[in-house]
Amino acid sequence: MKIKKRGFHKNRGDFFRSKLVLDSLKSKIAFFVIVLMFGVVISIEILDVYGSKEEFEKGSAKLNKKESNVLYSPEVLEGTSEVIHYDDFDNKKSWEDYYLRTNDGTRYKLNFIQGQEPDMISGENIKVTGIANNVASQESEIDVEGLEILQSATAGAEPNPNLGPQRIVVILANFQDNPLQPVTKEEVWNRVFDSYRRGSINSWVQEVSYGKTWLPGDVYGWYTLPSAFCSRENFLDFIDAIVSASDNDIYFGD
């Protein structure tokens, strides 16, 4: 009888443990079904608003497009141009940064597509169309889509005498006590006037002036001067002596 009693108690404990496991499993299944039904109800409610899945996706696309247009619609701003040139001698690079300063004093950095930078100088009245970034923590910038120069910085101004051809002459001179001619006239001409020679004075002037200034001219000499002019103290006399020596070959005007 004791054996049966022990067996009875053992079987009864297994029964209760099985019942607890089954109840826990039923609870989890019920919870999963409720969550699944909740998701289906939400999906049905959304589809009821748009009518179908395709219409729902179209509605989302329209909403995103509308938000994009609000956030990124082009602006049209007017003001004065500012151009800053930079030289990086260590890395042998140079570039320009372009800015727009509006009438209220706001300064925008103008971002152009590389290779499409304008031929623009500071002080011009311009109109810019583009996407503006006005984030307070950053420098205000505009991704430029269009630019119009309303008034040139040089409009109405007197012609700049330093632009265009700047005719010069090179005069070669030596002294009676040292009448050497270390270079030829052709070599000097190439070093000074040859615009196709890298490193010549003329090519450098054209580069730094963006092609607005160049140096036509010629080389004269050699002329041999008295040795008395070979000193810093007599420099002005030296100039006068060179002009006198070459006066028959060069017209200096008044």
Q: Sketch the domain layout of the chain as residue ranges.
A: 2-71, 75-151, 164-246
Length of the chain: 254
Peptide bond into 214 cis (omega under 30): no
pLDDT (tens digit, 9 = 90+) per residue, 125-135?
A: 999 999 988 66
> Beta 141-151 vs 107-111: how paired, if at all?
parallel
- Interval 201-248: pLDDT, tens: 999 999 999 899 999 999 999 999 988 776 667 788 888 899 999 999
Task: Identify the CATH assignment for 75-151 out of 3.40.50.720, 3.40.50.300, 2.40.50.200, 2.40.50.140.
Answer: 2.40.50.140
Question: What's residue 5's pLDDT?
Answer: 40
At residue 102, the pLDDT reads: 92
Cα–Cα distance between 233 and 120 in angstroms, integer?
Answer: 46
Model confidence over 99-108: pLDDT tens digits? 999 999 889 9
Task: Express as a percent the part of the chain with pLDDT over 90.
Answer: 39
Asked whether the predicted pLDDT for residue 3 surpasses 60, the reply is no
pTM given for the model: 0.43
| pLDDT, averaged across the chain | 77
